[in-house]
Amino acid sequence: MITNRIDWASLAFSFVAVLASVFAPSAWGGIAVGTSFSPAVIAAGGTSTLTIAITNNPPPGGTGSIAFTDSYPANLVNAATPASSSSCGGTVTAAAGGTSLSFSGGSLNGNKVCTVSVAVTSSVAGSYLNSTGTVTTTGAGNGTAATATLTVGSAGVAPSGFNAFETGTAAGSVAGVIHTKVAASAFGLDVVALRVGGTAVETAFTGDVRLELVDASSAGSCSAYASIRSLGTLTFAAANQGRKTFAGISEPNAWPNARIRMTYPAIGVPTLIACSTDNFAIRPASFGGVTVSDADSVTAGTARALTNTAASGGNVHKAGQPFRIDATAFNAAGVATANYAGSPAASLTGCVLPGAGCTLGVMTTGVWSAASGTVTATGAGYSEVGAVAMKLVDAGFAAVDAADGSTAAEMNIESAVFNVGRFVPDHFDLTAASTPVFKTFNDTTCATRSFTYVGQPFGYVTLPQATITAKNAAGATTLNYTGALWKLAPTGAVQTYTPVTGNLDIGLLGTPTVTASGSGVGVLTANAADEVAFVRTTPVAPFAADISLSMSIQDIAEAGVSGNGTVDTLSPALFTSIAFDAGNQIRFGQLVLTNALGSELLGLPVPIETRYWNGSGFTLNTADSCTQFAAANVSLSNWQRNLNACETSVSLSGRFNAGRGNLRFSAPGAGNTGSVDLTVQLGATASGSTCVGGAATAAVPASQSWLQGRWSGGAYNQNPAARASFGLYRGSKSLIYLREMY
């Protein structure tokens, strides 16, 4: 209920202004008197300025002292603030609420005019004919009284409130919505006066209403909202029927929660303050100046631009690792909206890389900070590999308008589309794709194998194979790491063998194969020719081999650009305690030859056997039924006496049996007595010659260095040797001391 005084600035009905100015005839050199009201028509309680004009007529001469008293008709009084004045000096007397105006002491010289004015009012409707009374002067005679009429209309109906809403709101509405507005873009709203109860428009309202744009984001009442800016005064006339459009509203800054505040009367002590029932946002027009950058491939920063859309070269950033986004919110005039402190989201519009078969990932922005209309996110991330086109969209800044029918186009703040890239996997995870099995004795054709010698290379029956999965920092597979974006090469593969006992020689490992399977997955397979061996130095007791293998891989293709780094394996494929197909015992062995003596008329067997170190000495390796040599592996030298070269030949073939071989010389024949030295060429190279089938031929290396011994001191890298004698006496069997060198 409104109980304060209502000051109407215009009338509820139309009046005809009447101005009657009567000038009394004056003598030559006398004065003329005129009077008027402005405005000549007011509403009850309104104010009008009463002006009395005194003109000094020629010939030039002074009027002397001027004086008059204007007594008003009944119910016409001086306003609460009379604001009386004179342009020719003197004293103006007009008390607030008084019924007259008195003037004395003023004067004029020459052909000039003196105006005396005062603000008057009336609370009673009617037509008021006012007479100035006689104007007297001491030097120019008297002036006849002049008259003017002031019309006072009845007061309009007082409204109970105001509202503001869109201009397209249906006629007769007392409430409506205000859609999202764009900063620095002009808009208009309709303001409506409300009847008591607020259920209908007060069509009889006339008067001036002050409008303001206010910030409604803080708690409080309408009158307590902080003013954003004054919009001016809206004057309602009777013809407006209580609803009038206020056009040309424009606010350059951004506000997430604004309202229109209406104050009546526009001037003086307000009797009614109301705000629009619907709050609304004034959003930036768009985002501009967008930059995406990093310090390096795993750190947000500003050192490098992330605009790379090439499949090779350039800056890359690891998927899921943080990078930086900066954007500035601008109004429709292209000026930054300093108030904007929103949190735009990333909206992906399409793949740039790969061009075909691309899977869009998830782009996140993280937390935004704001300063002077520019927002910065240092925790942005993208989940996939490649390059994408995207834009920034803030659909939340104008959230207050979500329920009022504002469209996404009205509410959303967007940037132009821009490219971001190139992204690479954060890391690789490898998992075992096979169960590898070592080849005991490195020979699957020997059915009785049960051990392998120290220093003897052994390969695989089943190769190690690992599945490679490219992943982002969160551990999800990067499906786009395929095709031209797949950069893995065999040179980036790493195979690490770890034995529980002993040391492994991995010098015989070949280059593995790397195969892309698609969708971020590939396969790493060990080389089919891969072999490892336990390092052979000094004798060790037999032990069970327990070997584990770790397989990993690196993408080193991007490392040539500063800040890119490499993409490494986070979780390698582990093959623990790899099994052997026929026994995992490892023995330190050596091949032993023994001197032989026999008739030149008979073939001569030469003792040859494999032995192993049992912890205290070498003993016959009865478990060895796999070792084999060829006759060409035995070199012959130092032919003595009547035994000439190749008068006897070597035969040696087949596998050993329980550690013993079948090395024999053919019978040299009658008269061919003598001796020959023999050496088994166990190394990777051979020296000397041999005799096979009666013909001399170069000795061939056996490449079985794991059976070399220490026959003359030093290291275990010496070939075994012996002497075969034909037709000679053995000599005494009496021995004083016999020692084998180990």
Amino acid 109: pLDDT: 86
Contact (CB, 8 A) for 353 and 386: yes
Amino acid 728: pLDDT: 79
Q: Quick one: tokens of 208? A: 């001036």
What gap in Å lies between CA 442 and CA 732, rounded to an integer?
44
Q: Once rounded to an integer, what is the mean pLDDT over residues 90-116?
A: 93
Contact (CB, 8 A) for 680 and 610: no
Amino acid 29: pLDDT: 62
| Residue 228 reports pLDDT greater than 90 | yes
Q: Quick one: tokens of 543? A: 């032990």
Amino acid 12: pLDDT: 34
Non-local (6+) Cβ contacts of 592 within 8 A are: 607, 608, 609, 610, 611, 618, 709, 720
3-class DSSP assignment, residue 484: helix
Q: What fold, for 31-153?
A: Immunoglobulin-like (2.60.40)
Q: Once rounded to an integer, what is the mean pLDDT over residues 314-320?
A: 99
Q: Once rounded to an integer, what is the mean pLDDT over residues 540-547?
A: 98
Q: Once rounded to an integer, what is the mean pLDDT over residues 447-469?
A: 98
| Residue 732 reports pLDDT greater than 80 | no
Amino acid 729: pLDDT: 65
Q: Once rounded to an integer, what is the mean pLDDT over residues 499-508?
A: 97
How many residues are listed for the chain in this entry? 742
| Residue 214 reports pLDDT greater than 70 | yes
| Residue 118 reports pLDDT greater than 60 | yes
| Residue 696 reports pLDDT greater than 70 | yes
Amino acid 45: pLDDT: 73
| pLDDT range class, residue 428, cuts 50, 70, 90 | very high
Contact (CB, 8 A) for 51 and 115: yes
Of the listed ranges 1-15, 33-47, 549-563, 645-659, the one predicted with least confidence? 1-15
Amino acid 219: pLDDT: 82
pLDDT single digits (tens) 53-102: 999 886 567 888 999 999 999 999 999 899 999 999 999 999 999 999 99
CA dist list (Å): 546 to 384, 543, 580:
40, 9, 10
What gap in Å lies between CA 519 and CA 515, rounded to an integer?
12
Amino acid 155: pLDDT: 57
Q: Quick one: tokens of 52? A: 């009395």
Contact (CB, 8 A) for 375 and 343: yes
Amino acid 739: pLDDT: 54
| Residue 27 reports pLDDT greater than 50 | no
State the CB neighbour count (10 A cutoff) for residue 244: 17
Amino acid 649: pLDDT: 98
Q: Once rounded to an integer, what is the mean pLDDT over residues 383-406?
A: 97
Contact (CB, 8 A) for 668 and 633: no
| Residue 413 reports pLDDT greater than 70 | yes
Q: What is the CA radius of gyration of the chain?
A: 57
| Residue 648 reports pLDDT greater than 60 | yes
Amino acid 17: pLDDT: 32
What gap in Å lies between CA 98 and CA 221, rounded to an integer?
40
Alpha-carbon torsion angle 160, 166, 170, 175, nearest 10: -30
Amino acid 20: pLDDT: 32
β-pair partners for 336: 330
What is the phi-psi region of residue 638: left when phi exceeds 0, alpha when psi lies from -120 to 50, beta otherwise? left
Amino acid 13: pLDDT: 31
Residue of 687, 631, 622, 636 lying closest to 662 (CA atoms): 631
Amino acid 312: pLDDT: 97
Q: Once rounded to an integer, what is the mean pLDDT over residues 582-608?
A: 98
- For 521, list phi and psi in degrees, rounded to 5: -120, 145
CATH among 3.60.15.10, 1.10.8.60, 3.90.1150.10, 2.60.40.1930 for 161-283: 2.60.40.1930
Model confidence, pTM: 0.74
What gap in Å lies between CA 716 and CA 538, rounded to an integer?
7
State the CB neighbour count (10 A cutoff) for residue 37: 23
Amino acid 145: pLDDT: 92
pLDDT single digits (tens) 606-640: 999 999 999 999 999 999 999 999 999 999 999 99
Q: Once rounded to an integer, what is the mean pLDDT over residues 47-51?
A: 92
Contact (CB, 8 A) for 704 and 656: no
pLDDT single digits (tens) 563-590: 999 999 999 999 999 999 999 999 999 9
Write down the domain spans for the chain. Answer: 31-153, 161-283, 286-424, 428-582, 588-726
What gap in Å lies between CA 684 and CA 701, rounded to an integer?
6
| pLDDT range class, residue 3, cuts 50, 70, 90 | very low
Q: Quick one: tokens of 523? A: 């396969």
What gap in Å lies between CA 273 and CA 220, rounded to an integer?
14
